[in-house]
Amino acid sequence: MRARAEAIAAEIDAVLASPLHNINIAKFVELKCVCGFGMRRREESLKQGKDIRCGDCGRYWTWVGGGGDEVYEFRPSATSFPCEKCKNAVGVTRYDVERGALARCACGAEYAFEPGFTPRLIEPTAGAAAPSGGDEAPK
């Protein structure tokens, strides 16, 4: 009995170590969040393109492929927008936006988000940017 329980535990560990997966039971899809929380959704609601929100940690997941006989694939719900400074795409997850995290471009530009998922460039203010004149060119 005990050996059986350990076998199951090992199986669960293997599942957790693999990318997000799910088991399709009838018309329901199950997926497990990276935090370990299991979610169950109707296949129909996935097809409507709704994000799935983890009831535990609050991360959002988007169905990106698979289904039917195939494994369903989920990715963190994310968006990207062009950087105002360098025009490269800046990616940010919906989860980070909701937590109030900043999106940071590779060029160093930082963005906060207005309600409605609108990125707003944070311009360093003249006074605050050079607290001790460190990197400023000599006058």
DSSP 9: H
Nearer to Zn ion, 45 or 80 (CB): 80
Name the minimum Å distance from CB 76 to Zn ion.
10
User: Any idea what the Cα angle at residue 23 is, between residues 21 and 29, rounded to 5°?
Assistant: 95
**Alpha helices per DSSP H over 1-132:** 2-17, 43-47, 94-98, 126-129
Q: Are 107 and 85 in contact (CB under 8 A)?
A: yes
Which residues 11-70 are close enough to bind Zn ion by CB under 5 A? 33, 35, 37, 54, 56-57, 59
Nearer to Zn ion, 6 or 123 (CB): 123
Q: How many residues bind Zn ion (CB under 5 A)?
A: 13
Q: How far apart are the first and last CA of the chain?
A: 79
Q: Which residue has the tokens 């195939």?
A: 70
Nearer to Zn ion, 32 or 139 (CB): 32
Site string for Zn ion, 94-113 (x = CB under 5 A): -----------x-x-x----
Both tokens of 43, joined, read 């296949």
Nearer to Zn ion, 3 or 17 (CB): 17
Binding site for Zn ion (CB under 5 A): 33, 35, 37, 54, 56-57, 59, 83, 85-86, 105, 107, 109
